[in-house]
Amino acid sequence: MSKTEELINLLAQDKIITAEQLVGLKKLPEYKANPEAALIKSNLIDLEDLTKFKAKVYNFNYRGLIGAKISDQALNLIPAEVAENYKIVCFEAAQGKMRVGLVDPENFKAIEAIDFLAKEENLQPEYFLISALSFETALRHYKTLGKEVSQALKTKAEEETLERVERKINQAEVEEITKSAPISKIVSVIIRHAVEGRASDIHIEPMQNESRVRYRVDGILHNSLVLPKSVHGAIVGRIKVLANLKLDETRMPQDGRIRVNINNKDIDLRISILPLLNEEKVVMRILDVTKGAPTLEQLGFMGAGLKVIKKSLTKTDGMFLITGPTGSGKSTTLFSVLTSLNEEGINISTLEDPVEYFVRGVNQSQVRPEIGFTFASGLRSLLRQDPDIVMVGEIRDNETAELGIHASLTGHFVLSTLHTNDALGAIPRLLDMAVEPFLLGSTLNIVLAQRLGRKICQYCKTEHKLPEDVITDIKKELAITPPAAIKEMMPDFDLKKMKFYKGRGCTRCGLTGYIGRIALAEVLDINDKIKEIIMNNKANLTVDDLVKNQNFITMKQDGIIKVLLGLTTMEEVLRTIHVN
């Protein structure tokens, strides 16, 4: 029996096609030459399903690649020309394996080619049958970052016979080059890939002999592209033009904005240019102005902490503070809170630097210290605008602290952030800013501290073992965590059955094992007892004071619970929290 007959039999056996349909099918003129095409044409089965059946007949695994993310690393194991010629594509490479999809199971030359390439890379090949459509989609991945940029560079070299000698480009040349199509193409490709790859920042840095482009994804900088040093100046120039910055200013830092539209989404880029020794470095922060703030639950707040936050949101005055270093997700949480408070009949005004999310109906202002519009001066004016809720991006100085306290004393709900390591640290910091203990005690409602840990990729999540000393540390922390708090977050927790997970790394997470981030938080409820301690200006509050009268858990303990829930890893908790 031929493979085609086997396939038809299998389809009949699985009742995909009836006996009558089969008779009709065989009458079609194209059936003889290409039975598969006839099946598709008569709408009896779709191409992906047909490929699945075909895979069974040929004893292959099936894989659908439409919409799949394929890493450059895997893809580039097979050169584009080879892939096209043999209709093969490598879609995954990890742990010594190379997974390759092929369209024609009878093309032995293709298998030979795969075996040859795998051997060169010292990888074990695994074959999967893919549909012609899967192949076409996968092939498009070759048109990615490096490829597109090197194409643009090549064009540029051809057009201008780029001088290979290292030299400093003068101003007139920069202006000339910034207009040239390949440079603007390179810049737009760099931006588009950052947005498509979920990056939050793009760094373009002059190095000794090259220009380096790095993307920050889920908080980590990844090396993405290396360009010839000779184009660095032109790229910086192009960005300056787009952001309306001074081209001839190379000794002073400059800030600006670019609005671009990528895949029908408006993206704001906040540009910062800093002169280094010889050349300028560019950092672009990507702000997706169409996305709303996520909910507190989506951010990863849970258990007792979430309850304290929600309770504090029912108050109409007092201070809501979030602490943490830069990049800890403070402003996202602030916006999540602000969005949940936003309703008609309430006047919300903000002072921000920069405006990162837009909330309908909220009066948002961006401070401009260079013209004297600071958090402090802005807050003074803002309080004359009859607000109910005020958000001040950050309390950095005594004046802002004093104004914020004053606003919350006079019936306003004030939200802000502070640069301290943990929640407890906010109290001595504000006292240092000359805030009276009595006033602080009577206005502070809640202090939340947070970090962002990367979330384990759910597509390649797998159980794994942790070293003994790490487990000992975890047990030690759990022993001092309020049991009620543990119970609330993990009702079925059993110390003897602890399990740990990590991401193996797959195409969806770019082989990192992580996708997205989750808040690791501690929430300090400034209840009457704590208020009293602050007002009496007793020696510093300690975690013990807190645990005695509320279900307080530290960021590290919150992190450990999220590790046990399989949401993140111990590595992430330790990396982001820096405590022993």
3-state secondary structure of 45: coil
- Does 457 help bind Zn ion (rule: CB under 5 A)? yes
Structure tokens at 547: 């645990």
Determine the interface stretch with Zn ion among 9-17, 62-70, 391-399, 500-508 (rule: CB under 5 A).
Answer: 500-508
- Does 460 help bind Zn ion (rule: CB under 5 A)? yes
**Rule CB under 5 A: which of 15-34 touch Zn ion?**
none
C-alpha distances out from residue 436 to 217, 441, 491, Å? 42, 9, 42
Q: Which of 423, 468, 452 is nearest to 568 (CA)?
A: 452
- Residue matched to tokens 């809501």: 320
- Does 299 help bind Zn ion (rule: CB under 5 A)? no
Residue nearer to Zn ion on the CB measure, 92 or 394: 92
Please name every residue paired with 88 in a beta bridge, in sequence order, or none if there are none.
102
Residue nearer to Zn ion on the CB measure, 229 or 504: 504
Alpha-carbon distance of 420 to 427, in angstroms, equals 10
Residue nearer to Zn ion on the CB measure, 126 or 173: 126
CB of 73 to Zn ion, least distance (A): 13
Contacts of 375 (CB under 8 A, 6+ apart): 351, 353, 367, 392, 393, 394, 395, 396, 397, 400
- For residues 370-382, one letter each, b for 16 or more C-beta atoms within 10 angstroms of the residue's C-beta and e for the rest, the string is eeeebbbbbbeeb
Determine the interface stretch with Zn ion among 284-292, 304-312, 507-515, 569-577 (rule: CB under 5 A).
Answer: 507-515
Residue nearer to Zn ion on the CB measure, 31 or 459: 459
Residue nearer to Zn ion on the CB measure, 113 or 506: 506
Sign (positive/negative) of CA torsion 183, 187, 188, 189?
Answer: positive
Contacts of 506 (CB under 8 A, 6+ apart): 92, 94, 457, 459, 460
Neighbours of 468 (CB within 10 A): 8
Residue nearer to Zn ion on the CB measure, 64 or 324: 64
Candidate residues 57, 138, 152, 509; the one interacting with Zn ion per rule CB under 5 A: 509
Candidate residues 58, 358, 373, 459; the one interacting with Zn ion per rule CB under 5 A: 459
Alpha-carbon distance of 508 to 178, in angstroms, equals 35
CB of 251 to Zn ion, least distance (A): 45
**Exposed, middle or buried by CB within 10 Å (0-12, 13-18, 19+), for 399?**
middle
CB of 357 to Zn ion, least distance (A): 28
CB of 95 to Zn ion, least distance (A): 12
Determine the interface stretch with Zn ion among 226-234, 412-420, 454-462, 486-494 (rule: CB under 5 A).
Answer: 454-462
- Residue matched to tokens 């007959």: 5
Provide φ and ψ at 217, rounded to 5°. Answer: -125, 130
Structure tokens at 222: 């990844």
CB of 459 to Zn ion, least distance (A): 5
Alpha-carbon distance of 570 to 116, in angstroms, equals 40
Residue nearer to Zn ion on the CB measure, 404 or 503: 503
Residue nearer to Zn ion on the CB measure, 58 or 459: 459
| Residues that contact Zn ion, how many (by CB under 5 A) | 7
Residue nearer to Zn ion on the CB measure, 151 or 512: 512
Of all residues in the shown chain, the one whose CB is closest to Zn ion is 457
Residue nearer to Zn ion on the CB measure, 324 or 503: 503
Alpha-carbon distance of 204 to 185, in angstroms, equals 15
Neighbours of 143 (CB within 10 A): 10
Determine the interface stretch with Zn ion among 8-16, 312-320, 430-438, 460-468 (rule: CB under 5 A).
Answer: 460-468
Residue nearer to Zn ion on the CB measure, 111 or 506: 506
CB of 503 to Zn ion, least distance (A): 5
CB of 507 to Zn ion, least distance (A): 7
- Does 225 help bind Zn ion (rule: CB under 5 A)? no
Sign (positive/negative) of CA torsion 186, 188, 191, 192?
Answer: negative
Letter for the amino acid at 568?
Answer: T
CB of 82 to Zn ion, least distance (A): 26
Sign (positive/negative) of CA torsion 547, 552, 555, 561?
Answer: positive
Candidate residues 25, 65, 426, 506; the one interacting with Zn ion per rule CB under 5 A: 506
- Does 373 help bind Zn ion (rule: CB under 5 A)? no
Determine the interface stretch with Zn ion among 45-53, 406-414, 501-509, 519-527 (rule: CB under 5 A).
Answer: 501-509
CB of 461 to Zn ion, least distance (A): 8
- Residue matched to tokens 């006292």: 431
Binding region for Zn ion (CB under 5 A)? 457, 459-460, 503, 506, 508-509
